[in-house]
Amino acid sequence: MSKLQLRYFPDEVLKQQAKKISSFDASTRKLAQDMLDTMYENDGVGLAAPQVGISKRLMVIDVAGEDEKRKPIVFINPVIVHKEGELVGLEGCLSFPGVYFEVKRANKIVVRYQNVQGRDQKLEAEGNLLCRAIQHEIDHLDGELFINKAVNNLVRDLEMTKHGFAEGDVNQLQDKITATTGHTISTKQSQQQPVVG
Ligand code: ZN
């Protein structure tokens, strides 16, 4: 078991389009296993290769609860071939420790990908954590980050500022949020389990 070093915003590798994987050899299997180990170590639900500094189209997800048996899925070269509906929910990201805000995603997706043996797979997910995590991780492979998909940009800015990822005045942001929404927003109030990927 080996743990990989996480990359944090604004690391350049997080903004790059990752490259397609064409060899399904021992090194690809080792990368997938090391990424799973790293994800579990950091209590993540998902992890994409760029988040450990490797610009390749590989990501891992496990949405099993703490008391459940692990259910890891390795996605290689994933492509969303169908999406429908809308789903708003709280998200976090291992590349932005501590930052949580609501993000809008598709409610239902169909994704095609290859497993570590290089076999074609198809998976459908609807209205659940897996559905959200797949969309979050595929974005990472395209150099897209959840900060560009916030439901409320002021709440995002507040969270980014609080955790040292942006410059700003926390009190001023909080006042602006109260002025626009009529109440103080606590980003941790949601009952939904946040995605940390
Ligand atoms: Zn992420």
CA of 174 to the centre of ligand 1 (A): 25
pLDDT of res. 101: 95
Q: Cis before residue 10, ω within 30 degrees of 0? A: yes
CB contact at 8 A, 52 and 39: no
70 Cβ partners below 8 Å, 6+ apart? Answer: 40, 62, 64
For 161-190, the pLDDT digits (tens) are: 999 999 999 999 999 999 988 877 665 544
CA of 94 to the centre of ligand 1 (A): 6
pLDDT of res. 176: 93
144 Cβ partners below 8 Å, 6+ apart? Answer: none
Ion ligand 1 neighbours (CB, 5 A) are 93, 197
Exposure string over 43-68, b if 16+ CB within 10 A, otherwise e:
ebbbbbbbbbebebbbbbbbbeeeee
- The answer to whether the pTM exceeds 0.85 is yes
Task: Point out the catalytic residue in the list 91, 102, 137, 159.
Answer: 137
Query: Has 137 been annotated as catalytic?
Result: yes
pLDDT of res. 71: 96
Q: Which residues of the chain have pLDDT under 50?
A: 189-190
pLDDT of res. 182: 82
What class is the 12-181 domain? alpha beta
CA of 114 to the centre of ligand 1 (A): 21
Which residue type sits at 160?
A: M
Domain boundaries of the chain, sorted by first residue: 12-181
